[in-house]
Structure 1
Amino acid sequence: MKNAARLPLFVLAVSVAALAFALTAEYGFGLKPCVLCLVQRVPFVLAGLAAGLVLALPRLGRWVMPLVVLTFLVNSGIAVYHVGVEQKWWASSCSGSAGQALDVTDLAAMMSKPAEAQCDEPAWQWHGITMAALNVPFSAGLGLMVLAALLRRKDGR
């Protein structure tokens, strides 16, 4: 395998692993994802697709891999926002505590729909650390690792 293929292969493998972890938590352990949890999966899909594209067409790597860096860093920002919603630092439209008045017809309509996970109620936590909180350093670290690898290539190392 050529050195140039290692970085996109790494990104593809990590993206698939992150998505597999999320799907295992959802379907294997019954942890219902909220809207923000689902949004945090999208950058992994995009990064995986971008890495696959670079593996198929290596000449695109120069333009596509910096977008992968941006994708991971944006995902870290989304995770920071999600942690803020979980900690109730700010409200979100998918929070259980939206604070809006409901009449009887609204309440009846809500009761007829299946329960949706609320963004401010983590499906899982360990000593206060949630999956969104774990995603902050994970995505930021991935973005910085890919950036460092790209900068090393430009230096010729």
Structure 2
Amino acid sequence: MNIFLNKKKFYLFILFYSLLAIFFALYVEHFLEYKPCKLCLYQRVPYIFAIFISFVGYNYFKNDKILILIVVIFSISVLISGYHYGIENNIFEEFSGCNAGALEIIDKSELLKSLNNNVSSCKDVSFKFFGISLAGINLLLSLLIVVYSLRTLVYEKN
């Protein structure tokens, strides 16, 4: 018996998983004091959407459009985390907004502002869990959710 093939339980799983992912990211940032890069912050956005969408899906679980939206949300998460993981492993180049060293400082006020803004580089892996960066874990888990979502979508239609 597979609990993920039932849509209502699947939405509940997505809701709790997304909440756990957001709380864990905030814990690492605020309590363990690791500064996230811009891509780390962008990776949280699909989870925030997933919290609201899975809550709606739990209450209206017979609508397939909500499950398709979950697939789209976590596919976006796969793209963002895959790109971030690629940057960490020197597969892709860092985009200009992510590079902490690419500052053009014109006057003293901009220098002070840049010193107060502790943005880490997307290349730097500051936190690992079981030897894998959080971007790598996010990539794997988001990919699993996409596969399970598609499987649930197909299984429930037949």
Q: TM-score, normalised by structure 2?
A: 0.82
Q: Is the alpha carbon distance of 1:6 and 1:86 closer, same or farther for their aligned partners in structure 2, counting shifts above 3 Å?
A: same
Note the 1:1-150 alignment, pairs <5 A. Answer: 3-59=6-62, 61-88=63-90, 89-92=92-95, 93-98=97-102, 102-103=105-106, 105=108, 106-111=110-115, 113-125=116-128, 129-150=132-153
Classify the secondary structure of the residue corresponding to 1:64.
helix
Displacement after TM superposition at 1:126 (Å): 6.1
Amino acid at match of 2:56: L
User: Structure 2 vs 1, CA of residues 126 and 12 (structure 1 numbering), >3 Å: closer, same or farther?
Assistant: closer
Change (3 A) 1:66 1:97: same
Unaligned runs of 5+ in 2: 1-5
- What residue is the counterpart of 2:3 in the other structure? none
* Structure 1, unpaired ranges of 5+: none
Cα distance change on mapping 1:142 and 1:94 into 2, 3 Å:
same
What is the rounded CA distance, in whole Å, between the counterparts of 1:126 and 1:13 in structure 2?
20
Asked if the contact 2:88–2:125 (Cα under 8 Å) also holds between the matched residues in 1, the reply is yes
Task: Report the CA distance between 1:86 and its aligned residue.
Answer: 2.2
Residues 127, 154 of structure 1: alpha-carbon distance in 2 compared, 3 angstrom cutoff: closer
RMSD of the alignment, in Å?
A: 2.2
Q: Map Cα deviations across residues 45-101 of structure 1 (whole Å, 9 max, x no partner).
A: 111210101223334x31111110111121011011112222343022212343x65
> 1:14 aligns to what SS in structure 2?
helix
Amino acid corresponding to residue 50 of structure 1 in structure 2? I
User: Following the alignment from structure 1 to structure 2, what is the Cα–Cα distance between the partners of residues 126 and 14?
Assistant: 17
What's the TM-score once normalised by structure 1's chain length?
Answer: 0.82
- What's the offset of the Cα at 1:17? 1.5
Q: Supply the distance in 2 between the matched residues of 1:67 and 1:54 (Cα, whole angstroms).
A: 10
